Chain A
Amino acid sequence: GNSVTQMEGPVTLSEEAFLTINCTYTATGYPSLFWYVQYPGEGLQLLLKATKADDKGSNKGFEATYRKETTSFHLEKGSVQVSDSAVYFCALSDATNAGKSTFGDGTTLTVKP
């Protein structure tokens, strides 16, 4: 079956530091890959996505590249802000059923001023 493994947290960074959150996956076929962000007490918001190998998803300064050869989809941001503090979830879904996703356990990011 499908599975997603995320870098364990929590991660604490200073403002303007570089962020990497690792994500690797196991899936049959060619899944779509996603990063979601969850702010305290809120639901999940789609941050970015990639639907095929070598695609790069980007949004709000965050980026992730779909690497089929390493089955990875690492999240990066060059300069984090305090407002980026949240829980980040990596997820995958079959291309034919976008709503049924397998999620990683989440990585909590805290950015200090």
Chain B
Amino acid sequence: NAGVMQNPRHLVRRRGQEARLRCSPMKGHSHVYWYRQLPEEGLKFMVYLQKENIIDESGMPKERFSAEFPKEGPSILRIQQVVRGDSAAYFCASSEGQGAFFGQGTRLTVV
């Protein structure tokens, strides 16, 4: 049973470009969570999705960020017109009950 799979592991984007981060939850999990970890900080919740629905986006920045979890395929976190402050590690987690299983993260660097 594969764990939570995220890709790419590392992503470099120039300012103004778009970044797309992918997350495939554990087999059988239909709840996906995205977190952002800034350098030297803990993880901050961004958004919670179930298949085809956004359940809680209280941690998402109001502009440039969006997330989806289609019926087929991975969950996508999309960041438009990236800025240097978007440089961080983005983690995806999936859950079907107690506790969450995390992917290895995507480290986004904006140059």
**Chain A residues near B (Cβ < 8 Å):** 4, 32, 34, 36, 42-46, 49, 51, 89, 91, 93, 97-106
Contacts and interface: CB of A to CB of B under 8 A. Distances in A.
Main secondary structure of the interface of A (DSSP, over half): strand
A32 B98 contact: yes
| The 7 A-B residue pairs with the shortest CB-CB distance in the complex, in nearest-first order | A99-B95, A103-B42, A43-B104, A44-B102, A99-B100, A99-B33, A105-B42
Contacts, number: 61
* Interface size bracket, B side: 20 to 34
B54 interface: no
A100 B33 contact: yes
A100 B93 CA distance: 9
B97 interface: yes
A89 B42 contact: yes
B18 interface: no
Nearest to B107: A41
Contacts of B100: 46, 93, 98-99, 101
A104 B98 contact: no
